[in-house]
Amino acid sequence: MNKSRSRGARYDIVQAQNLSILGEPHMKFNISYQRAVVGNDIEVQIDAEGDELIVSVDYVLDGFDLDGDDLSDAPVVSFHRTLSHVGDAGPGKRHKLTVGAHGKPGEPTKNASRVWTDLI
């Protein structure tokens, strides 16, 4: 596990503990990436806790909206998606992916971001 990934995991645990103290439900995000021949392959895992549901998910990579997922017909508590060959890639190129998980109507959107730089 690389060092930046460890920092993200610790942050998620602290965030979860803070929200639990306040009595608010939360969602856990795991975002990983790998350089592909073209673009990047990105794995997104979202797990809801308590009575949370995932109704839709949206993605913004480097300022561009990617196709989202509408789960309103059958909301879920755990969601996984692979985004294959997305975005541009190149040595030293910096990326930012923001994932938004939308729950039941009236509940705030939960967001997570991952930032990385292509090495090669």
pLDDT interval class at 37 (50, 70, 90): confident
What is the residue range of 61's domain?
3-117
This prediction's pTM: 0.78
Task: Copy the structure tokens of residue 100.
Answer: 């938004």
Structure confidence by residue, pLDDT tens digits, 64-84: 999 999 999 999 999 999 999
CATH code of the domain containing 72:
2.60.40.1930
Average pLDDT, the chain: 83
The closest of 67, 79, 83 to 103, measured between CA atoms, is 79
107, 70 in Cβ contact below 8 A?
Answer: no
Give how many domains the chain has, as a whole number.
Answer: 1
Rounded-to-integer distance, Cα 102 and Cα 63, Å: 19
Of 120, 6, 116, 119, residue with least CA distance to 61 = 116
pLDDT above 50: residue 44: yes
Place of tokens 């059958």: 74
Residue-level pLDDT at 23? 55
